[in-house]
Amino acid sequence: MTSPVIDVSGVDLTFQTNDGPIHALKNVNLEINKGDFVSFIGPSGCGKTTLLRCIAGLETPTGGDLTVNGLSPEDARKARSYGYVFQAAGLYPWRTIGGNVKLPLEIMGFSKEDQTERVRKVLELVDLAGFEKKYPWQLSGGMQQRASIARALAFDADILLMDEPFGALDEIVRDHLNEQVLKLWARTEKTIAFVTHSIPEAVYLSTKIVVMSPRPGRITDIIDSPLPKDRPLNIRDSAEFIQIAHRVRDGLRAGHDE
Amino acid sequence: MIPGKPSTFTYSVLPVLTVVAVLVVVWYAAAIKMNSTWTYDQAARAGTEPSFSEVVKDTMQQDRPLLPVPHQVAAELWDTTVEKKITSKRSMIYQGSITLKTTLWGFALGVVVGIAMAALIVLSRVGRLSLMPWAIISQTIPIVALAPIIVVLSNAIGAGSLLVPKAIIAAYLSFFPVMVSMIKGLTSPDHMQLDLLRTYGAKRSAVFWKLRVPASMPYFFASLKVSIAAAFVGAVVGELSTSAISGLGARMLIGSQFGEPMIMWAALFAAAILAAILIFTVGAIEKILRRAMGGQPV
């Protein structure tokens, strides 16, 4: 096995605010290997989003070591090592869906033909072929979020960072998108880090579940999922699934009681 | 028409017409009252005693009434726009075209300056600290006080015509709404949108052109209507205060100085109509551009 794609060791982060320092992350250790699907789960304020932002180089830890593809997060960000999906789709209302997906490609200087080809390919990947010329307001919330995933995939980075991408969607749409993300992951073999506050979502999607708890934000449990890579939706009724969900819930409760 | 749903007529035309009707009635009443003094004076001098209906009739036919009645103004306006040749100095079309030219030059200058200042203020701290206070102070100085200075200075630097100082005055008023809106528009993208571009390793120039500029467009369009109106006011004020001899503002001044109320009122209405046309045109262009930018129909 080669070295981990994302290596977090002893990471600390303290925000200085007007109300005094806030200890957002405390001694976080984590290895994410190539092809892993890792979920961060925990109550709000546990630092799961902050950890993801540290990995993305959008926040800088105040202590510890963090490497992405062997680079510092800052350099990895500049080397465009990852695609990032935010909580809201955040599509530009003045661009068509195709135009939105093209945005990172324009900024990164891909050739015109390459741009067109990539846009077509990723829109197909998220089942949005034929919506290229539509404007965001013409799409449902779930479709918009799919378009934003396509945008993150367009430049074909090996790592996909997703920050509660389906948090604002209803459960039916969310189930559907979870299935699609799994398919996408199987097809593209990307390394995915996924923040969520839904236990079923975390268990259904992940090969590795990172349970976190707040004040200070820290990891309380890391669960390697024994579920097979191929997961139909009804796997959620299996005994194994329920067992893992239990363990996640226990971890969350333990963190809460301390 | 959908049953139960009021038509456009009831919704937008009727309220306006009602107000216009009320104003016209008030206007006639005021004109009769104000102009009757002269009629009574004339009658007293001639030793006659006019009946009320004669007085009313007379108040609407005077050559130099204190307050011309609406149909007199309309007739004068018709005479000076449709009947007169466009080349005639008495033509409101000719006068209006001069004001229009000043307005458009001032507007163009104002928009360019407004955008440039907003960009400097948003992009650089130095710009923000040094330009912003001056921009605000500039709007507290009465333009009428500055106008003569602007005329003298632009003569001194060799601007031959009055167009330059008048356009500067118009721009002076019209840049401000554009600047304020553009500052708001250029800073409108939220943290998430800025972070997204950071994840692409985007340069500052890319953030500006791909995000800030397009995001500011709705704000920009909204400011254009205010700005063109300000430029128009600036153009008229410029004509009033630069001792110009042509333009609608100059016509108003001439009308008042030579005791020609009809000219004054006709010029006023010509100005109002021109302003309405300008704002309507800008609004129409705005609508087209909005649609081109994928705007959701409202």
Q: Return d(Cα B63, Cα B187) in angstroms, integer.
A: 58
The nearest CA of chain B is from the CA of A155 a distance in Å of: 10
* Interchain proximity A86–B192, CB inside 8 Å: yes
Query: Could you give the percent of chain A with pLDDT greater than 70?
Result: 98
Residues B184 and B267 in one domain: yes
Residues B12 and B144 in one domain: no
Residues B51 and B117 in one domain: no
Q: Which domain holds residue B109?
A: 92-292
Q: What is the pTM of this model?
A: 0.81
> Of A146, A103, A97, A100, nearest to A125 (Cα)?
A146
Task: Dump pLDDT digits (tens) for B171-222.
Answer: 999 999 999 999 999 999 988 899 999 888 888 889 999 999 999 988 998 8
Q: What is the mean pLDDT of chain B?
A: 86
> Of B219, B232, B231, B129, nearest to B179 (Cα)?
B219
Residue appearing with tokens 């039916």: A172
Residues B196 and B246 in one domain: yes
- For position B183, which CATH number holds? 1.10.3720.10
Q: Does any domain span residue B194?
A: yes
Q: Find chain B residues with C-beta within 8 A of A135's C-beta.
A: 294, 296
* Interchain proximity B199–A87, CB inside 8 Å: no
The CATH number of domain A6-81+159-257 is 3.40.50.300: yes
Q: Does any domain span residue B57?
A: yes
Task: Dump pLDDT digits (tens) for A202-243.
Answer: 888 888 889 888 888 888 888 888 877 778 888 888 888 888
The answer, for A165 touching chain B at a CB cutoff of 8 Å, is no
> Which pLDDT value is given to residue B152?
83
> Which pLDDT value is given to residue A233?
80
Residues B288 and B174 in one domain: yes
| R_g over Cα of chain A | 18
Which member of B201, B217, B294 has the closest CB to residue A77?
A: B201
Residues B125 and B187 in one domain: yes
Cβ-based contacts under 8 A for chains A and B:
55
* Interchain proximity A80–B200, CB inside 8 Å: yes
Residues B228 and B276 in one domain: yes
Q: Return d(Cα A199, Cα A182) in angstroms, integer.
A: 16
Asked whether residue B296 carries a pLDDT value surpassing 70, the answer given is: no
* Interchain proximity A77–B206, CB inside 8 Å: no
> Of A13, A89, A53, A37, nearest to A194 (Cα)?
A37
Write the CB contacts of B289 (distance below 8 Å, at least 6 apart in sequence): B217, B221
Q: Does any domain span residue B183?
A: yes
* Interchain proximity A88–B192, CB inside 8 Å: yes
Q: Return d(Cα B285, Cα B264) in angstroms, integer.
A: 32
> Which pLDDT value is given to residue B132?
84
Asked whether residue A258 carries a pLDDT value surpassing 80, the answer given is: no
Q: Return d(Cα B100, Cα B188) in angstroms, integer.
A: 33
Residues B14 and B155 in one domain: no
Give the start-to-end residue ranges of the domains of chain A.
6-81+159-257, 93-156
Residues B104 and B238 in one domain: yes
Q: Which residue is closest to A148 within chain B, CA to CA?
A: B196
Which member of B197, B215, B294 has the closest CB to residue A96?
A: B294
Q: Which residues of B touch A (CB under 8 A)?
A: 192-193, 195-202, 206, 210-211, 214-215, 217, 293-296
Query: Which has the higher per-residue pLDDT, A97 or B148?
Result: A97
Residues B119 and B239 in one domain: yes
Q: Find chain A residues with C-beta within 8 A of B291's C-beta.
A: none
pLDDT category at B6 given cuts 50, 70, 90 is low
Q: Among B50, B67, B84, identify where a domain stops.
A: B67
Q: Does any domain span residue B100?
A: yes
ipTM: 0.85
> Which pLDDT value is given to residue B150?
85
pLDDT category at B275 given cuts 50, 70, 90 is very high
The answer to whether the CB of A127 falls within 8 A of the CB of A143 is no
Task: Dump pLDDT digits (tens) for B18-71.
Answer: 999 999 999 999 988 888 888 888 888 888 888 888 888 888 888 888 888 888
Total number of domains constituting chain B: 2
Which of A68, A86, A92 to probe the B interface (max B CBs under 10 A)? A92
